[in-house]
Amino acid sequence: MTEMDRNRTQTSEGETEPPVQTRKPVRRGGGDPGTRGRTTIADGVVEKIAGLAARDVVGVHAMGSGLSRTFGAVRDRVPGGSKSVTRGVKAEVGEVQTALDLEIVVDYGVSIADVARAVRENVIAAVERMTGLEVVEVNIAVSDVKLPEEEEEEPEPRIQ
């Protein structure tokens, strides 16, 4: 008996019918639907994630240089303005990798090396988890130390 004969069905009158053809499901587009297309992530998205992650580290007092913090404080006072979480953060984003530059102000009395290490670990973990990008480097510049007796930098109002 040949393969073709085995696939034929027999009717009640003894006649044989041609084999039944079963169709395989057609997969259109090929591959997993999650891999169809391209996802791009803007520099600003990575900067926000990194800024929030860096601020979560104990010992980080603020982000950015004195000048950028002053402008930020003015911007924060404007009605409808929002706090800039990207202050002190610069990201360069490629297709699969990103590099970050952070400028931080640390609290007096903390170990700068320990704070920098903790910031790197927290930023890398957050960015890689949320974006899937590989963080190739996190450069940290400590621009100031916040002394306990220093007041917060609040610009004087121009109008009294």
pLDDT the model gives residue 33:
79
- Residue 133, in any domain of the structure: yes
CATH number where 68 lies: 3.30.70.1350
As a whole number, the mean pLDDT across the chain is: 81
Above 50 in pLDDT, residue 32? yes
Q: Range of 51's domain?
A: 40-76+84-146
Above 60 in pLDDT, residue 160? no
pLDDT the model gives residue 16:
62
- Residue 25, in any domain of the structure: no
Above 90 in pLDDT, residue 83? no
- Residue 10, in any domain of the structure: no
Domain count, the chain: 1
- Residue 1, in any domain of the structure: no
- Residue 50, in any domain of the structure: yes
- Residue 29, in any domain of the structure: no
Phi and psi, residue 67, nearest 5° = -65, -45
What are the tens digits of pLDDT across the range 132-145?
Answer: 999 999 999 999 99
pLDDT the model gives residue 151:
66
- Our measurement of the distance from residue 77's CA atom to the centroid of its chain's CA atoms, rounded to an integer in Å, reads 28
- Residue 119, in any domain of the structure: yes
Above 50 in pLDDT, residue 69? no
- Residue 32, in any domain of the structure: no
More confident residue, 131 or 74: 131
**What is the C-alpha to C-alpha distance for residues 120 and 118, in angstroms, rounded to an integer?**
5
**What value does the mean pLDDT take over residues 26-51?**
85
Q: How many CB atoms lie within 10 A of CB 56?
A: 13
Among residues 95, 94, 96, 98, the alpha carbon closest in space to that of 53 is found at 98
pLDDT the model gives residue 28:
64
**What value does the mean pLDDT take over residues 96-106?**
97
What burial letters (b/e) apply to 65-92, b meaning 16+ CB within 10 Å?
A: beebbeebeeeeeeeeeeebbbbbbebe
**What is the C-alpha to C-alpha distance for residues 50 and 45, in angstroms, rounded to an integer?**
9
Residue 129 and residue 90 in contact, taking contact as beta carbons nearer than 8 Å: no
